[in-house]
Amino acid sequence: MSKSFEWVKARASNPNVSGLADRDWNKAVEYDAFTIFKKSIYGESENGVVYISVDGKQFCVHFLFDANAEYDYFTGATELNDGTFFFESAMCLNIADKVCTLQTVNKEKIEHGINFSNVYWTIGNFAVLSENGDKFASRDKPWMKTRLTAVLPLKMEVK
């Protein structure tokens, strides 16, 4: 069990930090982030760097995978599904794509504007929690009884 996994479980369980404290994070599983990121846009990187354009501005996005680093914040997603394993990998892949394309950022790092062109990510491992129960099912789709939550710890530096 990595430091990042323990960090996510502690942080997500804290009601003062996240809206995810109502979940039993002791039942979460850990997924290697590098394996997931290789399947995202990061897999098309040059030496761990992705070059992207956001609103006409060019960025170099650098990646360091370290499951035992210190992190600034986390990003994640929650969805309801039918409980098949496809959804876990798809959700993690969508989160990886958000990181690679700067659709998630540490707002404290950019509070004074976007006067940088390099982003350096330190990325921990995913914590994925799958919970089943009728309480998650909707009237329209009663077979969708699984609430899936994936969280990824991150540290963002900009230059």
Residue 134 is predicted with a pLDDT of 66
Residues 69 and 153: their CA atoms lie apart, in Å, by: 10
Range of the domain at 12: 3-158
Q: Give the mean pLDDT of the chain.
A: 90
- Rounded to two decimals, what is the model's pTM? 0.89
Please say if the pLDDT value at position 50 is more than 80: yes
Residues 52 and 115: their CA atoms lie apart, in Å, by: 16
Residue 159 is predicted with a pLDDT of 92
Domain count, the chain: 1
129 sits in which H/E element: strand 126-132
The pLDDT of 67-86, averaged and rounded, is: 87
Residue 45 is predicted with a pLDDT of 86
